[in-house]
Homo-oligomer: A and B are copies of this chain.
Amino acid sequence: MEKTNIILDGKSLTIEDVDKVARRGAQVEISQEAMAKVEKARAFVFEMINSDTPVYGFNRGVGLNKDRQVVDRYYEEYNRSLILSHCVAVDPAASEEDVRAILLARLNTLLLGYTGIQPAIVTMYKDFLNHNIHPVIPERGSIGEGDITCLSHIGLAMIGEGDVYYKGFKIPAAEALEKAGLKPIVLGPKDGLAIVSSNALAAGPGAVVLKDVEDLIDMADIVYALTMEGFKGNVTPLDPSLYPIRPLPGQAVSAEGVRKYLEGSYLWLPGVSESLQDPLSLRGASQVHGSVRDALEYVKKYMDIQLNTTEDNPCVLVDEKRMIACSNYEVTTWVLGFEMLGIALSHLSRIACHRTIKLATPKFTGLSRFLTPADGRVIAYGTIQKTFTSLDTEIRHLSNPATADYFSVAGEIEDHANNSPFVVRKTAKIIDNLYYILGIEAMHAAQAIDLRKATRLGKGTKVAYEMIRSEIPFLDEDRNLSIDIKKAYNIIKSKKMLQAVKEAVNKE
């Protein structure tokens, strides 16, 4: 469990922070300055109550009901109704990791003071995170533009209804609150809307996905470097002179990484490669991996804005003494980025698959067919090509866009959507498939290295090779390969190989 607390102030949350809180149990604190803003905005809300200015979701209904005055002033009842009627999400429930990411993503944007939410609710988000109270949030049902159908389930838990995960069990929210010494929230004006009207369902898990993509590209570079050693690849395309003259940023990063992983490798010895030019999947790997980096940078840039700016409608402008209707819930910019990223990852998948095929092809490697240790007797890595092909086909399918598929709903008022949560989810699935694909490539690379009896490996690839071999022995006889594949998948997914290699190349 992560030791350091993350201090939240609404303007400096990073995807690394989200990863720490969501997956490594980091605790959070709220900066005093931020809490003061929250309180100031709340005070302004109460000023507004007596005013006659109509405000959507505040002293007026929502959606098509927006033009109906909330006749009675019983805010609790109205806001409770709002929470309940918005609980329309469907299974499966978001993972606890994702719930933490969601809570965090919304908590941080509340801290900018544009919401007008009651401060006790803000504290409740923090308490949920720090007490590991994780509301059960069915993860499907939102079309983006505010994940109101799902985030409502957080509100439900806060008022002591519905269920939560707590210490490994699914229990009633009321019970968990009591155990943790917390009191249910009594909803006041604007609180219902403040809870539901956020993109946190997509943004929180989305931030975690971006962290994974970042790590994945690094791992792809490592595995590619290993493949180069198995293949006895030509390292000329990694030449540092090439990158400044065609300054696409991502490829320079990948090439530099690969050079580092391969530092000291036999590949740099003169005359090693007999091929003038390797297949594109090897020759252009830094470029294609780099293109995924370029796409990632786009999404990260805008996710950073998402995590650290207001997403409220109506938006409370305390200094201007105004509360105005707006479109702060719009996240199409970074949803488009996720779509692009999915397509980029489809390229990453295909190029890894083609490298793996090449490793098993004698005419390119000079090694045995399907990397068999005993031709004619051991079948080895023949059939496994179907495995990664099928995973790639799934990725190809997942990379089809979904963001613009919607129709008018809510009395034709809601006539735009971007399907942010679904787009994020399908990106996560692509990543998981890539863990398999890179794992299988790594299996091939290690086998090729062994068959080639290549001993002088790079500073980083040596570590990667050893990690593979510590769990997956050389394939000397046919065996149940699905076990090997699962191990390789876990080495990649757990990021163990990544960490070990990074440590190795960074120490001196």
Contacts and interface: CB of A to CB of B under 8 A. Distances in A.
Contacts of A305: 246-248
A12 interface: no
Nearest to A379: B85
Contact of A65 (B86, B379, B392, B403): B379
A266 interface: no
Contact of A138 (B333, B385, B482): B482
Nearest to A234: B325
Most interface-central of A281, A326, A358 (chain B CB within 10 A):
A326
Contacts of A394: 140, 402, 422
Interface string A191-208: 000000000000000000
B343 A87 contact: no
Interface in A344-366: 344, 346-347, 350-351, 353-354, 357-358, 361, 363-364
Interface residues of A, number: 156
A246 B310 contact: yes
Interface string A260-298: 000000000000000111011101101110110011001
A403 B347 contact: yes
Contact of A60 (B61, B276, B302): B276
Contacts of A140: 387, 390-391, 394
Interface stretch (A119-127, A141-149, A178-186, A458-466): A141-149
A456 interface: no
A386 B142 contact: yes
A94 to B, nearest CB: 13
Given A239-B326, A343-B339, A397 B410 contact: no
A389 interface: yes
Contacts of A149: 383-384, 386-387, 390
A418 B347 contact: yes
Interface stretch (A16-24, A66-74, A447-455): A66-74
A426 interface: yes
Nearest to A81: B478
B404 A396 contact: yes
A11 B438 CA distance: 38
A309 B243 CA distance: 11
A280 B414 contact: yes
Number of copies: 4
Contacts of A47: none
Given A280-B414, A333-B295, A478-B84, A400 B397 contact: yes
Contact of A283 (B317, B325, B400): B325
Interface in A231-258: 234, 236-237, 239, 241-242, 245-248, 250-251
Contacts of A291: 330, 332-333, 336
B246 A311 contact: yes
Most interface-central of A276, A370, A399, A417 (chain B CB within 10 A):
A276
A302 B66 contact: no
Contacts of A406: 350, 389, 393
22 contacts: A63-B379, A65-B369, A84-B480, A85-B378, A87-B481, A90-B391, A90-B482, A141-B386, A141-B391, A143-B386, A239-B324, A242-B315, A245-B315, A246-B305, A246-B311, A281-B416, A288-B332, A298-B298, A354-B408, A358-B415, A389-B406, A389-B407
